[in-house]
């Protein structure tokens, strides 16, 4: 994006997209799920942005609910003020609105990189990041049947909805 189109603003730290939650860290390299000819799209219920999602390798649909055989990744935010119609807000488990990409719209799923996300119970730096198979929400511990990810928590914070940085470039301490 040219500076003239976005004067005085930082461009997407942690992701290549303009996302206010990510501002504050340098843009890191990242890798996305190879989508093929048609590209990935949000599944029948849409897909919540900024948390984990699973990719159907046949239909190329993304969902925040785990299905066996689907690939896990981090659903990247793909909106800004010029295309805000792509998302809608709904009240989520983090006691606040979460942005949902509408069904059938193209989305990007990161398989490696540094990203910012909200942790429902906070977290401890150095812990492996786990994904809730029912919602895609990240946790810093396996609370029973959660899915291990390739990401490590890079910050420590307490409290519900703490916004923390995760990285797939660092090995967990535990």
Any domain includes 7: yes
Q: Provide the β-strand partners of residue 115.
A: 166
* Number of domains making up the chain: 1
CA distance 79 to 18: 8
The pLDDT profile of the chain, 174 residues, written as one tens digit per residue, is 334 344 444 433 334 444 444 444 445 677 888 766 678 999 999 999 889 999 999 999 999 999 999 999 999 876 555 566 777 878 776 656 788 888 988 888 999 988 888 899 989 999 999 999 999 999 999 999 999 999 999 988 887 888 888 999 887 776
Any domain includes 66: yes
As a residue count, the chain comes to: 174
CA distance 12 to 26: 8
Any domain includes 174: no
Any domain includes 86: yes
Question: How far are the Cα atoms of 19, 38, 75, 114, 145 from residue 89, in angstroms, in the given order?
Answer: 15, 26, 16, 24, 28
In angstroms and rounded to an integer, the radius of gyration of the C-alpha atoms of the chain is: 15
- Cβ(136)–Cβ(109) below 8 Å: no
Domain span at residue 161? Answer: 3-31+38-167
């Amino acid at each position: 994006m040219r500076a003239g189109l976005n004067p005085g603003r930082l461009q997407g730290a942690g992701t290549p997209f303009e996302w206010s939650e990510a501002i504050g860290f340098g843009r890191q390299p990242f890798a996305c799920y190879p989508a093929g000819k048609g590209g990935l799209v949000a599944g029948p219920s849409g897909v919540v942005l900024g948390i984990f999602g699973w990719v159907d390798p046949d239909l190329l649909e993304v969902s925040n609910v785990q299905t066996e055989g689907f690939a896990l990744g981090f659903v990247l935010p793909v909106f800004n003020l010029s295309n805000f119609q792509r998302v809608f807000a709904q009240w989520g488990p983090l006691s606040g609105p979460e942005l949902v990409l509408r069904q059938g719209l193209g989305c990007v799923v990161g398989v490696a990189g540094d990203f910012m996300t909200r942790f429902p119970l906070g977290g401890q730096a150095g812990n492996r990041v786990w994904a809730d198979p029912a919602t895609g929400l990240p946790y810093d511990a396996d609370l029973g049947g959660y899915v291990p990810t390739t990401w490590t928590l890079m910050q420590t914070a307490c409290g519900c909805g703490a916004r923390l940085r995760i990285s797939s470039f660092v090995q967990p301490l535990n």
